Structure 1
Amino acid sequence: MKKIFFIVCLIYNFFMTTLFASSTIEFIDSVNRKIEVPKKIERIVPSGYNTQIIIAGFSPEMMVSISKEVPKKVLQKIPTYPYNLPITGQFYGKTSNFNKEELINLQPDIIIDIGEKKKNIVNDLNEISKSTDIPVVFIEFNLKNITTIYDLLGKLLNKEEKAKEINNFLTKNLNMISDGLAKIPLEDRLSFIQVGGKSFSIDPANSSHTEAIETAGGINKAKIGNSNKKSRTENLNIEEIITWDPDIIFVKDKASYEAILEDSRWSNLKALKNKKIFLIPENPYNYVTSPPSINKIMGVFWAAQIMYPQIFDYDLNNLEKEFNHLIFGF
């Protein structure tokens, strides 16, 4: 009898192990963490707003929460946006408000974090996964690895054809930008600053906020602050800006744009004299920042044409329509 019971236990253990193994796969994320994730993922929680924006365009039907409320202007543009979901907050940032209890109650298959590679990110994500008993996958975001994001999402969510279609568009058009910039000597490239926001601040060189315009061939004059901190802004110093005298000024919001035009201290800058001050468009998000997410790709296309129209003479409206259709679903 004992022998039979032992054999039954062995068979049961083998069956359960095989069943578990067949229902999961090993996924290697952007910080080389090997994670067991469900083979078929149906329920996703985004770790923050940047992730929310990307997943809402790529797999809205899988989202079971959002990290923050969706602006009305976005909902008016994207009717498929899954806005009416519980809010689980975000892991990182100034407004870090991660709601672990709500997340656990939702019973997601996975938590996805798409963003900058933070200093302690491996320990942070391992701790969240351990405390919630839910796998957490990190995918690094920057414009240099933009196609890798969709490659990984395609594999993770079994949407490789959709990822391939998006990446074909991104590769083709970003190569067009890099090929065009190769024709412009470094000494002939235009300088710029990027300003605005609620605190009327300036975005330093090599920050996540200016990545789009720098990728489009602009030379950021604001080489200030801590270059190791990517998502940062600095206090605006008009005296310093006057000494820089950039070729172009990009402004993030209408209030700041109007304030510059009305302030006589800016009037002697060559950008103002040459009418090279531009309000950054929004459709549905700001083209270059706020948030500094996938929307920055349109910022690259727009800024390249603003700065070097003799090289980049493509139809921006058609490019935007295709981008919005593929990335945001409208």
Structure 2
Amino acid sequence: MKLKKWLLATALSLSLTANLALAKTITDVKGKSVEIPDQVERVVDLWHANNQVVLLLGGADKLVGTTNIIKSNPWFNLVYPNIKNVPAINSQNSTQLEELIVAKPDVVLVSNKPAQEEVEKAGLKALLIGFQNFDGLKNTVRITADVLGDKAPAIAEDYIKELEANIALVNERLKDVPQEKRPTVIHISNGSNLYKIDGGRSIIGEWVKLGGGRNAFEDQANLVEVSVEDVLKANPDVVIVGSQNADKAVEQIKQDPLWVSVSAVKNNRVFVNPTGTFPWDRYSAEEALQILWVAKLLHPTLFEDINMVARTQQFYKKYYDYDLSKENAEQILKGQDPVK
């Protein structure tokens, strides 16, 4: 087995050396410069969320390796059915080196330093991507576009303009709303644990603030465990539940006697976060829609004219070239799977 890996790695290294005669240098999110082929045709993306960025940038046909989470995402499968033919090359965040080598990628996109080092030990080119705020999102979109080449950089700039325009629209309409009129929000990471929240020191905290809310746990990061007492003390005006099992969690919260005194429960302001080709709430290019959604959710009268169904349909047509039905758009906004 070791000899097989060595032979594969040697052959791939020789191939990469030949390809790099025409090369380009990409700087990753940590400032590391990596030389890759000028024309990238084979990409393995080991960060779940960034596969959606590749899709948005028109580069999905270059994917020769993805993740199990993306292969099982029903909206990604609906928009890009060929994902079923792309092998999953990571399982529970453990990179499978032999499968990586067999995939013969021009570049591997990773979200953490250990994965980058592991990939490089196999003789492959690895670029670190990732973000915790909107500036980081824009940077990762641009890096991914530079990797893909072709029309991707132009699409990236178009997307970033749309993202910034949505932020500007929300900022303009909320500029005169005083802090005391901005509801407090708890964002629960997913439906499997009602007490794992995303605080203000995260991209979730950023869009809560942009959308005219106040994160009930302003000084916390993302994926932080809190207690029942912490929730009761925070007494949020709004509760938003993200990712899987969110609809079940909303019903559980409404029926749980521990939550009955919470303002959001008393006023029926417990919501499921939208989920599309990736959950809108974290590490998603569909954050461009999340900003509008949360602003309309928290301040409906100020955003009465914003039609989120139409906006979602337009986004999917523009970036995925997919004609999303009204019914499907409504399901995305409710965090539901596609209609069978």
TM-score normalised over the length of structure 1: 0.79
2:297 paired residue number: 306
Report the equivalent of 2:56: 57
**Residue 154 of structure 1: how far off its partner (Å):** 2.6
Within a 5 Å distance, the mapping from 1:143-292 to structure 2 comes to 143-158=134-149, 159-195=152-188, 196-205=190-199, 206-208=201-203, 210-223=205-218, 227=220, 230-235=221-226, 237-252=227-242, 253-289=246-282, 292=283
SS of residue in 2 equivalent to 1:83: helix
- Superposed CA deviations along residues 119-171 of structure 1, whole A, max 9, x for unmatched, are xx3xx366235312221112332323333333323322222222222222222
- What SS does structure 1 have at the residue aligned with 2:26? strand
Q: In 2 relative to 1, CA 125–258 (structure 1 residues): closer, same or farther, beyond 3 Å?
A: closer
* Structure 1 contact 192–247 (Cα < 8 Å) conserved: yes
8 Å Cα contact 1:260/1:266 also seen in 2: yes
Q: 1:283 to 1:125 in 2, by over 3 A?
A: closer
- 2:19–2:37: 8 Å Cα contact kept in structure 1? no
Instruction: State the alpha-carbon separation in 2 of the partners of residues 270 and 262 from structure 1.
Output: 14
What's the offset of the Cα at 1:60? 0.6
1:277 Cα deviation (Å)?
1.8
Instruction: Give the whole-Å Cα distance in 1 for the aligned partners of 2:185 and 2:268.
Output: 13
* Matched residue, 1:15: none
| Identity percentage of aligned residues | 18
In structure 1, distance between residues paired with 2:60 and 2:121: 26
Secondary structure of 1:27's aligned partner? strand
Question: Paired residue for 1:86?
Answer: 87
Which of these two proteins has the greater Rg computed from alpha carbons?
1
Following TM superposition, by how much is the alpha carbon of 1:42 offset from its aligned partner in structure 2, in angstroms?
A: 0.2
Equivalent position amino acid for 1:24 in 2: A
- Structure 2 unaligned blocks of 5 or more: 1-17, 323-340
Secondary structure of 1:25's counterpart equals strand
User: In structure 1, how many angstroms separate the alpha carbons of the residues matched to 2:320 and 2:216?
Assistant: 32
Structure 1 gap ranges (5+): 1-18
Structure 1 pair 207–201 and aligned structure 2 pair: CA distance change class (3 A): farther
Give how far 1:107 is off: 0.8
- 1:67 maps to which residue? 67
Equivalent position of 2:309 in the other structure: 317
TM-score (norm 2): 0.77
Q: In the alignment, which residue of structure 2 is the partner of 1:14? A: none
The number of residue pairs the alignment matches comes to 295
C-alpha deviation, 1:184, in angstroms: 2.2
Instruction: State the distance in 2 between where 1:75 and 1:294 align.
Output: 13
Aligned to 1:7: none
Equivalent residue letter for 1:299: Q
Q: Distance in 2 between matches of 1:29 and 1:214?
A: 28
Distance verdict in 2 for CA 1:326–1:212, change over 3 Å? farther
Counterpart CA distance in 2 for 1:162 and 1:98 is 30
Contact 2:198/2:223, CA 8 A, preserved across alignment: yes
Secondary structure at the residue paired with 1:286? coil
Residue 181 of structure 1: CA displacement?
3.2
